[in-house]
Structure formats: structure tokens, C-alpha cells
Structure 1
């Protein structure tokens, strides 16, 4: 009996992942199409191409918002203090990334060059909102749909684990992906999951995720999960092959400093969320006891 229940649970996990993968495909339709037709653009026009790919993920946001319009709690759209959460997430994400980047730089990991010109403010604004769209879509799929499904069924462990694994595997094709990158992405997911649990919505996590990618690529000019940077304010060139310091070609989230930071932040956020966690555990035990008593 228990074996059959486990098999059904595993099947359900893969079904949820398959649906999430389908939503991911919809959000990246433009990128898949351009790859299918082998479309290329001159290097001088790369900013418009990068922005197109970022903003096109809004298709996925719109599709999911419409499909689950009667279930806002599932995607984490509901919740109080949305504006405050967006501001708090932006500030926290920028401060944490800046701190990690500063530590790596002071330890000699980067050669930093200033490349900012006032005419680039226009591009900075476009990329800020573009990364907002891209990060929001990833959060809606992972911390929204996948995590929301298991939270709805009061399976807190699966809510954390399954969305973190999906997010980690989602980046497996990125250049420079390896074991350390996988650990970094997994720990990042755990931290973002704890933010959803703590705030009751995905908005703080969306802002944190968006400003992290924006700071990584556009402000400080490092790789964004293996993808080339835009570097509109600074460019940070690796000065050492010690990948645990800089993260190598994958970027800061692969570095040992980021892994430590992710771990500490996750522990802190889980500790702050502990009342919600214990309440969910008690609710599940009560439901299981009631079912057993009834039988």
C-alpha cells in the first residue's frame, strides 16, 4: 500500500514538472523560433536582441496569469504589502550582490573597468524592466506554480525541493554549468522559496531575483548564469583561474562566496519562517490523524 502511494507521488511530481516545462516552453517561444530559423544578428545590435529575449518571456507570464486567473494563491500573486515587498526585494538583492562582488574584487578576483556613459541610461532602464520580466516568469513557474501546487496540498518539503530541483535543471544547458553552479542555483532557489513562505507571495522574490540578474549583468558586468554580460556601468574581468573565487565563466552565483551567502540567507529565512513551517507540519499531522481515525 505504501509502495503504491510512493509511486503515485513520484508520478505526480513528474506531471507537475512536465506542466511547468510546458509553461517554460511557452515563455521562450520567441527564443525557440529564432533558434529554429537560425536567426543571427550583428554584434552591434546585440542589445535589442537581448532585450527581445528578456521581454518575450512576458508571453509566459500573460499565459499563466490568464490560465490561473481564478487561482491567484497558486501562483503567489496574492498577499499584502506588494509594493513594500518589491522595494524590500530590490534593496536586499542589490545589497547582497554588491557585497559579494566587492569581496571577490577585494580578494583580487576581478579587474574592474568603468564603461558608463550617460547615453546608456536608456539601455539601463530597458534592461532593468527586461530582467524584471525574465525573473518574474522564472519565479511564477518555480516558486509560483510548482511550489504553490505542493503548498496547496500541505507538502512543505516537496514545495521546497521540487521547485528548487526544477529551477536548477532549467539552467543545465547554460555555459559553465557544473556541480558548483548546480549547488549555487539550488541554494538560491531554497532562499527564494523561503521568501515566498515568509511573505505569502512571490513578489519579494521576483524583485530580489530581477535586481540580482540586473546588477550581475548590467551594473557590474559579470556573467549571468553562464550568459554573457551587458556591462553598462562596469566590466569585471576574471583575473584568476580560481573558479571558487569568481565563479569562472558561469558567474558569481557559482563562487564559493556566493554559496556561503546563499546558505546563510537560506538558514536565516527558514528560521524566520519557522512558525509557518511548524504550523504546516501540525496541520498535516492533524489531517493524517483524522483520516486514520475515520478509517
Structure 2
């Protein structure tokens, strides 16, 4: 019974962290809505994406909350926010390159399959918006990893087996997107596979640098660079705009985005198997999943 109560508290804290992470976005978008009511035309078109990028940056509030909550327990703080300094730049850079490259590969195959209609929308005035999204998705991706792979997975590993902690955190990550536009069974499958991959990154590296960078890079490529929906969220296109062609949902994922496509299922499944193999054979013994 005590274990069930502890697990219940873990889930309640996870829900609270998700709610808190959304507050800065809500406030900024409300303020932006008021500004857009006063201005129209090109000025209003700039306000909305810029505010969205700034709102994403605000999600870092979760990191400060957790640091305050666990500042008196360094060991537990490291369990829920493992950020080792040694080799951090290399792991982050590797994760970011892998995230961009993997999305670019999936997007390229989709375009070759004529599942996207692509147009260039870049303008020289877009630099501020692009930078806001670069920082915003950097904070947002890392914050979600802190919540689900750091806090949730880290705390659950003290209560259940490592394998169950990985699966539960991945499922919770998928369920957290139920309010997004275009969500469906396919999207939940894709998000769960993505969550499992991020959990394996956390497990085998022993920290969140690789997972946070991959997640951030994926979202940044998905929206601002290649112009597809970011898990059902539109309005983030900056460089390219990719319109999903109807009848090709198996490739482009429809209105939710490319995570809902069968192509991503295959790609993520392959990465999960490859990561598991490499991790179980080449990661430090202390970071391998217990048999």
C-alpha cells in the first residue's frame, strides 16, 4: 500500500509539473492575443510565432521548481535531473545532430513519396523568430525530458523494475499529448516509441544530455526548419512549409504530424532496437538494463 501511495504521488507531481510548464506559454499567448487585437497585418503575423517561441522558453520554470524542491538532497536531485558535466557538450552535440539528421531523413523520404507539398517561406526578417524557436524548442525538449525521463522515470526506478519504469514513462509521455490537435492511435504509438527511445538514451548514457538534445532538435527540425506540424501544433514554420497531401497519411501523419506516420514507426523501432543492442553491449555495466 505504501508503494502504491508513493507511485500515486509521483504521478501527481508529474501532472503538476506538466501544468506548471504550460503556464508561461498561456500567459505569453494571452498577452500576444491582446497585442494582435490592436495590430493587424504583417505585425500581427510576427507577434504570434515569436510569442510561441518565447512561451516555449518559459517551460524551463520546471527545472527551477525541481531544483528548489530537492536542493537539500543532492543524490535525489541527480536521480531526477542527471546532468553530468564530463562529456556534456559532446553528448548534447551528438544528440542534436542525430535528431536533425533523423528527421531530415524521414522528411526527405516523405517528400520523395509526394506526401508533402513544400514551399519556401523564409524571409530575411525571420531571424528573430528562428532564434526564438531555436531557444524555445531547446528549452521545451529538455524540459519534457526532465519531467518524463528525469523525474518520472528516475523516481519510478526506485519503486518498480527498470523496464517498467521505461515503459510507463514512455506511455505517460504519449498520454500527455492527448489534448493536441489530430491525436489518434497512430500518434500515440509514435509518441510511445519516441518516449522509449529517449528513455533508453537516458539509461545508457546515465544522464539527459543526449535525450534532451535529440528531442529539441527533432521538434526544431519538424516545425521551424521543415514546416510540418509539431505534434499537432501549427504556426511554427519559418524556413519551409510542408503541407500534408491528403490520402498519404501513412507517410505524412496527417494533421498531427509526422510522428503519426508508419514511416516514423519503422524508423523509431529500428533506432530502439539498435540503441538497445549497443547499450546492452557497450554502455557502462552500471548503465545497462538489468536482465
TM-score between the two structures when normalised by the length of structure 1: 0.86
Match of 2:68 in 1: 66
Match of 1:239 in 2: 245
1:136 to 132, 142, 150: 142
Alignment of 1:19-168 (within 5 A): 19-32=13-26, 42=36, 43-44=44-45, 45-69=47-71, 70=74, 71-78=77-84, 80-152=86-158, 155-168=161-174
Decide whether the 8 Å contact of 2:50 with 2:132 is kept in 1: no
Offset, 1:25: 1.6
Structure showing greater radius of gyration is 1
SS of the residue 1:201 aligns to: coil
Count the aligned residue pairs.
276
1:281 to 275, 282, 290: 290
Q: Which string of whole-angstrom CA distances, capped at 9 and with x for unpartnered residues, describes residues 139-185 of structure 1?
A: 00000001111334572112201211111111000000000000000
- Give the stretch that moved more between structures: 31-40 or 58-67: 31-40
2:224 to 210, 218, 224: 218
Counterparts of 1:31 and 1:129, CA distance in 2: 14
Offset, 1:119: 2.5
**C-alpha RMSD of the superposition:** 2.3
Report the CA distance shift for 1:38/1:246 in structure 2 as closer, same or farther (over 3 A).
same
Counterparts of 2:191 and 2:286, CA distance in 1: 23
Match of 1:190 in 2: 196
Offset, 1:94: 0.4
Gaps of 5+ in 2: 37-43
SS of the residue 1:248 aligns to: coil
TM-score between the two structures when normalised by the length of structure 2: 0.87
Counterparts of 1:264 and 1:41, CA distance in 2: 46
